[in-house]
Amino acid sequence: MKKSFTKDQYSKYVEEVSPKSKLFTNVLKAFLVGGIICDIGQLFINLLKSKGLDSDAVSSITSIIMIFLAALLTGLNVYDEIGKFAGAGSIVPITGFANSVVSPAMEFKSEGYVLGMGAKMFIVAGPVIVYGICSSIIAGIIHYLIT
Amino acid sequence: MTYLSAFIVGGIICAIGQILIDKTKLTSARILVVYVVAGVVLASLGIYQKIVDIGGAGATIPLTGFGYNLAKGVFRDVDETGLLGAFTGGFKAGAAGLAAAVFFGFMMAAIFKPKAKK
């Protein structure tokens, strides 16, 4: 009697506590890896700024470098390993966007270069572009009407 | 100092994404869409510029920064060319990132083979 009670209590306790602590470690990992990826970006920004480039060029070149690195690491199957550890920490940065382009493109290469690779590249990036561009156009129209 | 603030701001933005994934079961594609639109909205309200001023790359590297970039480009073009700018500004501002993602994405996918599924 006593034993089953403690067992029940225990399983209840596990149910209550385990998702929380899992959430905490997941969030911590995402925070750390996301922070590191942003610092790598900051490193390139500082380097390019010290070369005397203007801020538009600096941010464009930084994006290109970060996307190149993420695409390369995805090709080498390294980025997905980082992703298993980091979760959102590797999804949310622009490197995750690059990963979302390369990963399905590689996977669907066997279905051909046009409708396999060419089309499936945008399986995640497509919606991002659609919603990003549409919302920015709406924001632009509102900005035009207000000013 | 810039590295510390970039780390913290970028880390927090990613941590929020992780909370969304764990709590709402949103797929990563949906998270990215939410982040881009959130970036556009926050940039339109003038809030994201303040986050960028504090966090630097910590704010521009996450995908909210892409949305911020789109909105910034649209506003700049609207101020210069009027309503036409709403249609030209976004792609212009996102050109480098989009072109790089398409080009490097294609090249890497063409060169490398996917890892065999276990």
- Is residue A146's pLDDT more than 80? yes
pLDDT-derived band at B115 (thresholds 50, 70, 90) equals: confident
**Distance from C-alpha of B105 to C-alpha of A67, rounded to nearest angstrom:** 9
Query: What pLDDT sits at residue A147?
Result: 85
Answer whether B90 sits within 8 Å of A77, measured CB to CB. no
Q: Return the DSSP state at A92.
A: S
Answer whether B6 sits within 8 Å of A41, measured CB to CB. yes
Query: What pLDDT sits at residue A87?
Result: 94
What residues of chain A lie within 8 A of the CB of B37, using their CB?
131-132, 135
Q: 3-state class of A131 per DSSP?
A: helix
Query: What pLDDT sits at residue A81?
Result: 96
Tens digits of per-residue pLDDT, B63-100?
Answer: 999 999 999 999 999 999 999 999 999 999 999 999 99
From the list B19, B90, B108, the residue facing A133 with the nearest CB is B90
Query: What pLDDT sits at residue A8?
Result: 73
Helices A2-50, B2-24: axis angle to 10 degrees equals 140
**Distance from C-alpha of A126 to C-alpha of A120, rounded to nearest angstrom:** 9
pTM of the predicted structure, to 2 decimals: 0.89
- What average pLDDT does range A26-32 have in this prediction? 97
Q: What ipTM score was computed for the predicted complex, to two decimals?
A: 0.94
Q: Nearest CA of chain A to the CA of B63: how many Å?
A: 5
- Is residue A11's pLDDT more than 80? no
Give the residue on B whose Cα is nearest the Cα of A87.
B18
Q: 3-state class of B115 per DSSP?
A: coil
- Is residue B24's pLDDT more than 70? yes
Name the strand (E) or helix (H) holding A53. none
Tens digits of per-residue pLDDT, A87-124?
Answer: 999 999 999 999 999 999 999 999 999 999 999 999 99
Q: 3-state class of A87 per DSSP?
A: coil
Q: How far is CA B49 from CA A144, B12, B46, in A?
A: 19, 16, 6
